[in-house]
Amino acid sequence: MFVFPDGTLIDTERADNLPPVCDLSTVSDRSLVDIVLALPLLNANGGNLDDGSESERPRRWKSERVNVQELAGHEQSEVAVLRHNLTLRMAHQENAAWLTCPVTRLVRDAQGQWCRDPRFISPSADAVCQSFADD
């Protein structure tokens, strides 16, 4: 479970899909890259649902059809549900249209392979540690 700075709750165990992988082939010239979890900003004028059409800005939600069991009986029905349109992005990209939160830092090892920087502590992990320290 994760909470963005605007209070948006992300729960990939029950409601939200995991974001697609981040393509690191575009940063072959870098030795360090910060990865952020990103959610499109809410547009107060609407148009927040990704319906597959072209848009100049990212959309906050995607619609997905799922089968659910009827409460009374053995029937199943298909319903549309909204899922947050999460993605992994790099911190150096243009992220003005996104809510972002750092999740990891990747560094190149001696063989040039990407690995997680063990010294990096994400803000969400820091908040969890802080709550335990306060007890």
Q: How confident is the model at residue 5 (pLDDT cuts 50, 70, 90)?
A: confident
Q: Enumerate long-range contacts of 128-133, CB under 8 Å, 24 or more apart.
A: none
Question: How far does Cα 111 stand from its chain's mean position?
Answer: 29
pLDDT in tens, 61-83: 999 999 999 888 889 999 999 99
* Angle (CA) 97 102 107, round 5°: 120
pTM, 2 dp: 0.82
Contact of 79 with 66, CB cutoff 8 Å: yes
* Residue 18 scores a pLDDT above 70: yes
* Residue 60 scores a pLDDT above 90: yes
* Residue 41 scores a pLDDT above 80: yes
pLDDT in tens, 82-130: 999 999 999 999 999 999 999 999 999 999 999 999 999 887 654 544 5
The residues spanned by each domain of the chain are: 2-134
For residues 7-34, average pLDDT: 92
